[in-house]
């Protein structure tokens, strides 16, 4: 196929990258730990780890997993941690030991956790003590034999470690009671591992690095098998894309999205370790005062997030001072994980002087597929062009390629595409077209310059009397009204049109009425796209990274009346 997008590449970005230059994530880490040993790799709540310390601690943890626990190459280790210093240590320790990482959302219920642990076959889990009670409830019905429990301050300097752990447990009472016989403390595990040493383990591109479970907004989550080659390729692709702007050994990125999610895992952790950058970890981005305080403290050059995160920051008291301080320092702000509202993008650029660079990806592609040029001067409203060594094509429901400008399912082919779903061969077969094309389930179009525009998730499209209405378009229009803080659109059953649009709104202006919202929408949308019902909410249901859970809204929606 003709790769028309290459003519839209910024200067200095190659059409292809050498995705096999580094055989595994183990090699990627060890190379950076040598090159940048004295540079700070991660900062959390004011305490940091250098690359040298990351090397030493992750080696000790890997040795504990292999030596003390007797785990063998290919065994699965679950990591149930928020953005704390222990996360990168546990992650790289497991990978260096030749194990497969299963990232787990710490906010899972016991039943959700049980499913993921049982499905993955994980035999060990690392968990923050705050969530150990959930592990206790799920444990009896899983194959997990080893539990390593850590406290929030376990990698802080001694005096601060003691104070933080005491405050979390006894002052703030953030640790529900739990009892897991035989559980090992984090610091004990590191001490045992340091005594044993980690044997050299040769890993290659075809070894599985992650069972990365999809979000599960519809049905049960599935584990995407992401190999070392997939993840290294995507890190190299992204590094090549941002290379003209961000420099090795000089950058600091704010990591507020959870590292257990594939977007932050690759775009923040892996890419910035590859670049020798510093990750400022935000443990709880919902605590906006502390989040803003952290932004004031650090001179960051990059930040990633999703639409809801950027919107929340713009509304947060004190963020204007952050914007003033970051002028001339902040180089790039990257948005992904969900569609970006033009209203949010324009407010962000006005406040910071830096545009939101939107990208596109999915768990099954490690995840980055497309990105806007890193030197863009304004928000484009599109999800960009395919990154190096990546092909994108659009196919119709019959599996035929769609002409340029036409609408179809976005499909991707490249070295970052997963091997398949864990223990789900039939689901894997349904996800791939002939010749290796991964079906994303997303609808879009490509223009003559190779820029892809995301239209909607295929399953979210609302069909009104045979006409297709796209929730993202409707939400974007609603968000243009100054009185609207957030919006979610779904289809509800309708006796006359089959489906009708229901719009859920979070007010910025308490006086806002449904009639005003409807009149605003009518200025921008044709009749069948207009909401038949408008319902106000204090908040919309969100995934861990801030995506609106439309499935939940559909369950809550009152059916439209004819």
pLDDT at 307: 86
Q: What are phi and psi of 472, to 5 degrees?
A: -60, -40
DSSP 301: S
pLDDT at 560: 46
pLDDT at 466: 66
Is beta strand 437-446 parallel, antiparallel or unpaired with respect to 432-433? antiparallel
Which phi-psi region, left, alpha or beta, contains residue 270 (left: φ > 0; alpha: ψ -120 to 50)? alpha
pLDDT at 215: 53
pLDDT at 246: 96
DSSP 52: H
CATH of segment(s) 461-556? 3.30.300.30
- Contacts of residue 494, defined as CB under 8 A and 6 or more positions apart, other chains included, come to 464, 500, 532, 559, 560, 562
* Cis ω for the linkage preceding 367 (within 30 of 0): yes
Quote the CA–CA distance of 2 and 25 in Å, as a whole number: 32
Per-run averaged pLDDT (10 residues), the chain, 562 residues: 94 93 96 98 97 98 98 98 98 98 93 94 98 97 98 97 97 97 98 94 97 65 95 97 95 96 96 98 96 96 93 95 94 88 93 95 96 92 96 93 94 97 93 93 94 85 77 90 95 84 96 96 89 95 84 75 44
CA distances from 250 to 133, 149, 374, 472 (A): 41, 34, 17, 37
Query: What is the pTM for the complete model shown?
Result: 0.86
pLDDT at 562: 43
pLDDT at 218: 39
Please count the other Cβ atoms lying within 10 Å of the Cβ belonging to residue 559: 13
Does domain 25-33+48-203 bear CATH number 3.40.50.980? yes
Q: Are 417 and 364 in contact (CB under 8 A)?
A: yes
Q: b vs e for 111-149, b when ≥16 Cβ sit within 10 Å of the residue's Cβ?
A: ebbbbbbebbbbbbbbbbbbbbbbbbebbeebebebbbb
Question: Closest Cα partner for 343 from 512, 470, 486, 443?
Answer: 486
Structure tokens at 416: 């970052």
DSSP 349-416: HHHHSS-EEEEEE-GGGSSEEEE--TT-SS--SS-BEEPTT-EEEEE-TTSPBPPTT-EEEEEEESTT
Domains in the chain: boundaries = 25-33+48-203, 461-556
**Is 349 exposed, middle or buried (CB count within 10 Å of its CB: 0-12, 13-18, 19+)?**
middle
Q: What are phi and psi of 289, to 5 degrees?
A: -60, -45
Quote the CA–CA distance of 358 and 344 in Å, as a whole number: 12
Question: Closest Cα partner for 440 from 546, 387, 545, 367?
Answer: 367
Please count the other Cβ atoms lying within 10 Å of the Cβ belonging to residue 456: 19
């Amino acid at each position: 196929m003709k790769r028309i997008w290459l003519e839209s590449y910024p200067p200095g970005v190659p059409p292809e990258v050498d995705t096999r230059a580094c055989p595994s994530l183990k090699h990627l880490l060890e190379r950076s730990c040598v090159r940048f040993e004295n540079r700070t790799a991660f900062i959390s709540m004011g305490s940091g780890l250098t690359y040298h310390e990351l090397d030493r601690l992750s080696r000790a943890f890997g040795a504990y997993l292999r030596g003390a626990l007797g785990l063998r190459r290919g065994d699965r280790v679950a990591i149930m941690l928020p953005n704390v210093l222990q996360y990168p240590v546990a992650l790289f320790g497991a990978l260096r030991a030749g194990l497969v990482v299963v990232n787990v959302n710490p906010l899972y219920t016991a039943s959700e956790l049980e499913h993921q642990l049982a499905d993955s076959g994980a035999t060990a889990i690392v968990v923050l003590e705050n969530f150990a009670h959930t592990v206790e409830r799920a444990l009896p019905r899983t194959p997990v034999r080893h539990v390593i429990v850590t406290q929030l301050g376990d990698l802080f300097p001694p005096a601060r470690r003691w104070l933080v752990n005491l405050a979390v447990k006894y002052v703030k009472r953030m640790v529900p009671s739990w009892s897991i016989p035989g559980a090992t403390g984090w610091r004990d595990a590191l001490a045992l591992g340091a005594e044993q040493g980690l044997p050299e383990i040769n890993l290659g591109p075809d070894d599985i690095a992650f069972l990365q479970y999809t979000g599960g907004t519809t049905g049960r989550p599935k584990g995407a098998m992401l190999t070392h080659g997939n993840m290294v390729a995507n890190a190299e692709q992204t590094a090549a894309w941002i290379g003209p702007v961000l420099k090795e050994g000089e950058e600091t990125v704010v990591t507020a999205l959870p590292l257990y999610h594939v977007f932050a895992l690759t775009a923040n952790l892996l890419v910035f370790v590859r670049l020798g950058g510093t990750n400022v970890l935000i443990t709880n981005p919902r605590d906006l005062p502390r989040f803003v305080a952290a932004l004031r403290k650090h001179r960051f050059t990059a930040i990633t997030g999703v639409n809801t995160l950027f919107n929340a920051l713009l509304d947060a008291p004190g963020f204007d001072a952050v914007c003033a301080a970051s002028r001339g320092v902040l180089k790039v702000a990257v948005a992904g994980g969900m569609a970006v509202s033009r209203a949010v993008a324009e407010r962000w650029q006005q406040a910071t002087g830096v545009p939101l660079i939107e990208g596109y990806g999915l768990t099954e592609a490690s995840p980055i597929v497309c990105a806007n040029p890193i030197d863009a001067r304004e928000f484009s409203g599109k999800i960009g062009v395919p990154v190096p060594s990546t092909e994108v094509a659009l196919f119709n429901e019959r599996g035929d390629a769609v002409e340029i400008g036409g609408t179809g399912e976005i499909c991707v082919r490249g070295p970052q595409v997963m091997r398949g779903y864990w223990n789900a061969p039939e689901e894997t077969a349904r996800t791939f077209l002939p010749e290796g094309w991964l079906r994303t389930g997303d609808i879009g179009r490509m223009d003559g310059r190779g820029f892809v525009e995301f239209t909607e998730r295929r399953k979210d499209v609302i069909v009104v009397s045979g006409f297709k209405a796209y929730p993202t378009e409707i939400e974007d229009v609603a968000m243009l009204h100054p009185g609207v803080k957030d919006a979610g659109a779904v289809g509800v059953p309708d006796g006359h049109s089959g489906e009708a649009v229901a719009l859920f709104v979070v007010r910025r202006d308490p006086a806002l009425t449904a009639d005003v919202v409807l009149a605003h929408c009518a200025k921008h949308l044709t009749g069948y796209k207009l909401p038949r019902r408008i319902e106000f909410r204090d908040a919309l249901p969100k995934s861990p990274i801030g995506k609106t859970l439309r499935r939940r809204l559909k369950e809550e929606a009152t059916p439209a009346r004819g």
